Amino acid sequence: MSSEKYWHENSTSSPTVKRSAASLQSVSVLGCGSPVPLSLINGLRKQQRIVAVRSSSEPRAPHSVSTRRQFVQATAAVTAFASLATPLLAQPAGKSIGIKTLKTDVLVCGGGCAGIAAALAASRRGAKVLLVEKAPFAGGIITCVGLPYFDGIANIKDNRIVVRGIALELLSKSGVCKPDATHTAKHNPTIGNSFEFKLLLDRLIREQRDRLTVLFNSVVCAVNTVGSRIRSVQIANKDGLVTIEANTVIDCTGDADVAAWAGAPFEQNVEVQPLTLHFRIGNVKRVGNLSLNCRAALAKAQAAGELPFYYGPGVMFLYHDSEVYIHGIRVPANPTDAADLSRAEMQGRADAWAMFQAWRREVPGFEQSYFIEAYPWIGVRESRRLIGQYVLNEDDLMKSRRFDDAIATGCWYLDLHPNKTVIGSANDFDPKKVQPEPYDIPYRSLLPKKLENLLVAGRCHSASRGAHASTRVTVTAMAMGEAAGTAAALAVAAKKNPQEIGGSMVRETLKAIGAGPFTDA
């Protein structure tokens, strides 16, 4: 078969490309150094058939170096031709790619602790849900930042579980407790593997594939608001700019991006809590008082100008007897300022390496250690907070105030991190740790004042700075997310806005499935 005939019979390329190929007598292949004759390419197919049927016991005929070189060159040339012969997707010059539009019942922005719970809750109640997440996986602070703690699931005094529903489901399916557990072994249990947690969330998402669609690597970049209603949210991903029209939008971005860009009132302190990068070190031996020695080494590194700030540090053998997980980095920054957040990411990595180097140099047990990894994102504790229909405050927490529209329970202490070095602790209590009893979180703290089809869940819900220091943690965010997703599904079913769905109805709906507030023992 001639090269021209082979090309015409097998190619799906345009006629122009075919004519060009037919006129060639040789091909220049990248890396070959000289043109490869088409006759050699055509002969390659016959050689391949012979090689395929030769028995492994048959002796191989000797080949010259030049023959082998020609064979390799011809293989590269065939590969090059095969790539030319495949269909091409090309954009005509001067024509822009159009903006895709998607429609859904419920749009969940952010797939972290609040967002994954919201998406699962809404889809399980029959709503068509689209979840968008900027990372390539769900889980937020647990998977992107690497914090393995289920903070807020149990009361510190007796380890009684105060958040059930999806949060308890995730903990039990991670092998930490039974599905019907009433108490945990620790008030803040940890999962055993953050990668396995990603797989668990993937599986739960796929179980709802008929109603739940997820778009990873997708960033919310604009909100179109008309009057008191969000008409659309625009995201950016590999499809380009995508417009999403939804009956109800749930902001689980952590930073209240959607709420802020839609025009909802919010607040953010000039100075927010510092950011923390989590990392792991392998081949560490338990020698002496490791925690005390690590503190001393960091104090020395800071005095030498190698480390700006730190806290603790927390050096824990969580995953293996020879591996330590560390949280102790402290980077003051504004997480809603792109340039400052970028600076903080780089500073966090530099600080992690400085800690590792100090410990290898100074601490017995770290001599042969190696740096395993720092997690992809630096962790953010505080940024924008919604000013909603009700602003939960410290007095509500400390008096354990009850609300008719309670939809979740919180129980974490007022966990405020200062922007300075604190040795041996994460906090600088003045005068002491503030620990509330389990308290109610009202539905109104998820509702903005000016927008009728928006819910806000997670650490950016409506709370004062002091109350937010407690409600911002992982499991409490999951509880708010599940409530928001349930409310959104109820609104879709009733053809109403979330503002028209009463908190008591949301609470009773959650109660029917074993979720919602468990403030009272």
The string of pLDDT tens digits covering residues 185-234 is 999 999 999 999 999 999 999 999 999 999 999 999 999 999 999 999 99
C-alpha 85/C-alpha 10 separation (Å) is 8
Of 88-102, 230-244, 350-364, 382-396, minimum mean pLDDT range: 88-102
pLDDT value of position 68:
55
pLDDT band for position 99 (50/70/90)? confident
pLDDT value of position 430:
78
pLDDT one-digit tens code per residue, 475-506: 999 999 999 999 999 999 999 999 999 999 99
Whether the CB-CB separation of 133 and 110 falls below 8 Å is answered with: yes
C-alpha 465/C-alpha 487 separation (Å) is 25
pLDDT value of position 39:
52
Contacts of 346 (CB under 8 A, 6+ apart): none
Mean pLDDT in residue range 21-42: 45
C-alpha 100/C-alpha 240 separation (Å) is 8
**Residue from 356, 349, 353, 369 nearest 294 by CA:** 356
Q: Write the DSSP symbol of residue 143.
A: I
Residue 458 has pLDDT above 60, yes or no: yes
Mean pLDDT in residue range 45-55: 40
49: phi then psi, degrees, rounded to nearest 5: -65, -40
Residue 395 has pLDDT above 80, yes or no: yes
Buried b (16+ CB within 10 A) or exposed e, 302-332: beeebbebbbbbbbeeebeeebbbbbbbbbb
Residue 19 has pLDDT above 70, yes or no: no
pLDDT band for position 429 (50/70/90)? confident
Q: Could you give the percent of the chain with pLDDT greater than 70?
A: 81
Q: Where are the beta strands (DSSP E) in 330-438?
A: 370-374, 385-386, 406-410, 422-423
Mean pLDDT in residue range 36-62: 44
Provide the whole-model pTM.
0.84
- Residue recorded with tokens 């016991």: 57
Residue 323 has pLDDT above 70, yes or no: yes
pLDDT band for position 26 (50/70/90)? very low
Work out whether the CA dihedral 358, 141, 194, 191 comes out positive or negative. Answer: positive
Whether the CB-CB separation of 308 and 351 falls below 8 Å is answered with: yes
Which amino acid belongs to residue 159? N
Whether the CB-CB separation of 456 and 448 falls below 8 Å is answered with: yes
Contacts of 112 (CB under 8 A, 6+ apart): 133, 138, 139, 140, 141, 144, 252, 254, 458, 477
Mean pLDDT in residue range 436-453: 97
Work out whether the CA dihedral 265, 271, 274, 275 comes out positive or negative. Answer: positive
pLDDT one-digit tens code per residue, 345-381: 999 999 999 999 999 999 999 999 999 999 999 999 9
pLDDT value of position 243:
98
Degrees, nearest 5: CA angle 170-171-176: 145
C-alpha 177/C-alpha 168 separation (Å) is 8
pLDDT value of position 70:
60
173: phi then psi, degrees, rounded to nearest 5: -70, -15
User: Read out DSSP for 420-437?
Assistant: S-EETSS---SSS---PP
pLDDT band for position 13 (50/70/90)? very low
pLDDT value of position 173:
98
509: phi then psi, degrees, rounded to nearest 5: -65, -40
User: What is the C-alpha end-to-end distance of the chain, expressed in Å?
Assistant: 84
**Residue from 387, 279, 378 nearest 335 by CA:** 378
480: phi then psi, degrees, rounded to nearest 5: -65, -40
Of all helices (H) and strands (E), which one includes residue 82? helix 65-85
C-alpha 499/C-alpha 229 separation (Å) is 11
pLDDT value of position 9:
32
- 147 versus 56: the higher-pLDDT residue is 147
- 105 versus 46: the higher-pLDDT residue is 105
Give the 3-state secondary structure of residue 302.
Answer: helix
392: phi then psi, degrees, rounded to nearest 5: -65, 135
- 68 versus 47: the higher-pLDDT residue is 68
**Residue from 414, 410, 408, 464 nearest 435 by CA:** 414
Arithmetic mean of pLDDT over the chain: 88
C-alpha 205/C-alpha 215 separation (Å) is 11
Residue 6 has pLDDT above 50, yes or no: no
Rg over CA atoms, the chain? 29
pLDDT one-digit tens code per residue, 53-94: 333 344 444 444 455 556 546 555 545 444 455 566 566 665
Degrees, nearest 5: CA angle 406-409-410: 130
Token readout for 446 is 């998820």
**Residue from 195, 242, 198, 234 nearest 99 by CA:** 242
pLDDT value of position 506:
98
Token readout for 47 is 């050689």
pLDDT value of position 517:
96
Mean pLDDT in residue range 281-292: 96
- Residue recorded with tokens 């040795």: 423
Of all helices (H) and strands (E), which one includes residue 354? helix 338-362
User: Read out DSSP for 188-239?
Assistant: S-B-S-HHHHHHHHHHHHHHTTTTEEEE-S-EEEEEEEETTEEEEEEEEETT
C-alpha 53/C-alpha 44 separation (Å) is 15
